[in-house]
Amino acid sequence: MLDALPPVPASGRPDETLGSAAMSIEDYARVVQPRNEFVEFLLAPARGRLAAAA
């Protein structure tokens, strides 16, 4: 769950610019999806109570 995004090097060398160190959309989605599912799991009970109250 605590997967961190890879750090962006600050050396300024052309091969280590933000563009070459950035994650692809697919890699980012693979990191974010489990976190999103976990948050949905945590919020499910509250959503049920809110829906019942409405």
pLDDT tens digit sequence for 3-50:
666 665 555 555 555 555 678 899 999 989 999 999 999 999 888 887
Contact present, 3 and 30 (Cβ < 8 Å): no
Structure confidence at residue 32 (pLDDT): 93
Structure confidence at residue 49 (pLDDT): 80
Structure confidence at residue 1 (pLDDT): 46
Q: Enumerate helices (H) and strands (E) in the chain, giving the number of each.
A: 2, 0
HSE-CB for 4 with a 13 A CA cutoff: 3
CB atoms within 10 A of CB 23: 12
Structure confidence at residue 35 (pLDDT): 93
Structure confidence at residue 23 (pLDDT): 82
Give me the DSSP letters along 14-41: GGGSHHHHSPPHHHHHHHHHHHHHHHHH
